[in-house]
Amino acid sequence: MSRVQKLDEPAIFDNIQTGLKTTSTLPKSNVQQLNSWFNHFKLTKEFRLPRSKTNIEWVGTFYEKIHQYIIETYRPPTYKYSTLRFHLEALANILLAIDKNKYKEITRPMWNKALEHQKDIDEQRKENKLSDKEVINFVCYPDMVKIRDDYHNKWTQKPKDKKLNIYHLILALNTYIPPLRLTLIGMEFWTEEIQPPADVETNYMWIKPDGRMVMVINHDKIENKRQAFAEKKGHEYKRQMFDLDDEIPGVTNGMRLQGLIKESLKYFKRDYVLAGVRTMGSQMGKTSYDKALETIFKPIGKKPTQNLIRKSYVNHFYNSGLNMKSLEKIALRMRHSVSIAMLS
């Protein structure tokens, strides 16, 4: 386990008040969390509770059950990462208040987990907070839709123009469905009846024999973390596959997108979803993708990145009055949590 300053810094650990039996000197926030645990277990009657909520000794006796309850109840996306962290820290603080020597090492993993969540929170805040440059280059979702439709009109007038074809498709993939990170780069078409292979890092747009399309994610920024989490929890690991015709009401238009992809392939045969327009259909690299975004939005004086496009999408739909179920579906398709999206 990692070093915990509160436990391993002698001056700090020695200063912890311990041997307490009531809430009289506990921080108010810790008392609030203690009360919520008390109320829960009073309803479930899993074990005998003291008559008074001010008594804290029962926490030491049943800390394992309390810890399990916290982990299972306050997990994202239902709750923010910060909520889970606060409850873990409250449990650790109360145990130290009861007997800091007895519970010192028992609380260590709680502190480590809380710190881990704080790092996630800090990282996501940093990722989601708009920098000055991003503010300047921010493109509202409705404006992206207008530019997408303008490109579609230009492309229909020149259907054999590969540049218009691919640039319009970039906009379509980022507006008709929730935008991914840079997962589209290198994504290949798969047209077999059987599923695409899973033991590779290639992502696929699977075009089934009946014409329906499924986006198959084998690898991206978070896939290793997803797999590790599943293994840790003893769950069966499954890659994510998104049917384009699985619509989120009021949000997506995957049926429209599938038709546009088919039309795109009709005029530009290729193996990759996004192909270089000057390289005989080879995959479009990140540099070319960034250049494409720069060209697309140049007329309005903007240079958005893929991450900024994702933030624009979140800001639009999370302010559209959608219910939590729809927000969770958007988050799933964007491969993050609702709580992370809320930070945008």
Query: How would residue 86 be classed by pLDDT, with cut points 50, 70 and 90?
Result: confident
pLDDT tens digits along 238-258:
889 999 999 999 999 999 999
Domain 132-342 has CATH 1.10.443: yes
Tokens of 244: 């384009």
- Dihedrals φ, ψ of 192, to 5°? -80, 160
pLDDT tens digits along 112-170:
887 776 655 555 555 556 778 888 999 999 999 999 999 999 999 999 999 999 999 99
Higher pLDDT, 153 or 6: 153
Are 304 and 289 contacting, i.e. CB atoms less than 8 angstroms apart? Answer: no
What are the boundaries of each domain within the chain?
5-128, 132-342
Q: How far is it, in rounded angstroms, from Cα 15 to Cα 313?
A: 49
pLDDT over 60 (residue 278): yes
Are 82 and 122 contacting, i.e. CB atoms less than 8 angstroms apart? Answer: no
- Dihedrals φ, ψ of 286, to 5°? -60, -40
- Dihedrals φ, ψ of 330, to 5°? -60, -45
Mean pLDDT of the chain: 88
Query: How would residue 321 be classed by pLDDT, with cut points 50, 70 and 90?
Result: confident
> What pLDDT is stored for residue 113 in this prediction?
81
Q: How far is it, in rounded angstroms, from Cα 245 to Cα 183?
A: 19
| 201 CB neighbour count, 10 Å cutoff | 9
> What pLDDT is stored for residue 264 in this prediction?
97
Are 65 and 47 contacting, i.e. CB atoms less than 8 angstroms apart? Answer: yes
Q: Which residue has the tokens 């991003």?
A: 134
Q: How far is it, in rounded angstroms, from Cα 91 to Cα 59?
A: 8
With CA atoms as reference, report the closest residue to 339 among 72, 113, 82, 127. 82
Q: Give the percent of the chain with pLDDT over 70.
A: 91
Q: How far is it, in rounded angstroms, from Cα 201 to Cα 82?
A: 32
Q: How far is it, in rounded angstroms, from Cα 173 to Cα 57?
A: 56
- The strand pair at 213-217 and 204-207 is best described as antiparallel
pLDDT tens digits along 117-133:
665 555 555 555 677 88
Q: How far is it, in rounded angstroms, from Cα 342 to Cα 332?
A: 14
Q: Which residue has the tokens 């920024």?
A: 221
Written as one letter, the residue type at 241 is M
> What pLDDT is stored for residue 104 in this prediction?
93
Q: In this predicted structure, which of 92-96, 214-218, 267-271, 277-281 has the lowest mean pLDDT?
A: 277-281
Q: Highest-confidence range of 268-277, 292-301, 309-318, 324-333, by mean pLDDT?
A: 292-301
Higher pLDDT, 270 or 76: 270
> What pLDDT is stored for residue 342 in this prediction?
54
DSSP 96-109: HHHHTTTSHHHHHH
DSSP 127-143: HHSPPHHHHHH---HHH
Burial of 140 (0-12, 13-18, 19+ CB in 10 A): exposed
Specify which residues 207 forms β-bridges with.
Answer: 213
Specify which residues 213 forms β-bridges with.
Answer: 207
Q: Which ranges in 62-131 belong to alpha helices (H)?
A: 63-73, 81-99, 104-128
| 117 CB neighbour count, 10 Å cutoff | 20
